[in-house]
A and B are shown apart, each in its own frame.
With several copies, the nearest count.
Chain A
C-alpha cells in the first residue's frame, strides 16, 4: 500500500510518500493511522490528533472510519486550504 502525506503531516513525518504493509487487523483508515503512530516519532507527532486529519483513498476523500478495502493509495493530510 502506497501512502502519501501532504502539508504539515508530510513535514512532521519527514517523507512525502512511503510503501507500507500494515497487518491484517488494520481495516479502516483510523486503524491505519493508529498503526502508523508506532512507526516513528515523526509519525506519532504528525498523527496524534484525528480531528486535525483528513484522508483520501485512491484519490477520493473518505471519512476516517471508512474501510480501506483493496486500497492501493492512501493519502493523509490536514483540512484543505486552497483557492
Chain B
C-alpha cells in the first residue's frame, strides 16, 4: 500500500500509523519532522509545485517499496502556514523485519529533502526569509545512490 498526501490540514500521526499497521507488517518505522521555533521563528510557510510534488513522492514511495520489499510506504507532507511545534512531514514504512523498515524510512526522508519541490519561508515577526538549501541534505541523499 502506498499513500501520498500533500495537504494544508494538520497531520494526524495516530491515524496514519494505524493505517499502516493494518498491512500485517512486523515492523513500522516512521519519521516526523516538526517546525522548530529556534532563532525566533514565529511561522513557517511551505510552498510546493502542485502535481509535480505528488508525482515525485509517489515515485520515491514506489522505489522504496521495491528496494526494501515493503508492505507499505506513507508520505504525508503539510503545506501552507504552520507554527513552531506543528508537524511538517510524516514518513512511515512497514516491512516484515525492522532493518528494511528503518532503512527505507531514512531513504524516503533523505530523498524527499532534495527531490520533492517544496520551499520553506520562515517568518520572524514581520520579516520573512526563504530558507536556503543545505549541502548536508545533498550528501544525505547521495548515500542512497548506486
Chain A residues engaging chain B, CB cutoff 8 angstroms: 4, 6-8, 10, 56, 59, 61, 75, 77-83
Interface segment, one of B7-15, B16-24, B64-72, B115-123: B115-123
Q: Are B52 and A81 in contact (CB under 8 A)?
A: no
Interchain residue pairs with CB less than 8 A apart (6): A10-B47, A79-B133, A80-B116, A81-B118, A81-B130, A82-B48
Q: Are A77 and B119 in contact (CB under 8 A)?
A: yes
Which of B49, B77, B109 is most buried by chain A, counting CB atoms within 10 A of its CB? B49
Q: Are B52 and A82 in contact (CB under 8 A)?
A: no
**How far does the alpha carbon of A61 sit from the alpha carbon of B52 in the complex, in Å?**
10
9 closest A-B pairs by beta carbon, nearest first, are A82-B118, A79-B133, A7-B119, A59-B52, A83-B113, A81-B131, A81-B120, A8-B130, A82-B116
Q: Is the interface of B mostly helix, strand, loop or mixed?
A: mixed
**How far does the alpha carbon of A83 sit from the alpha carbon of B115 in the complex, in Å?**
10
Q: Are B89 and A83 in contact (CB under 8 A)?
A: yes
**How far does the alpha carbon of A77 sit from the alpha carbon of B47 in the complex, in Å?**
11
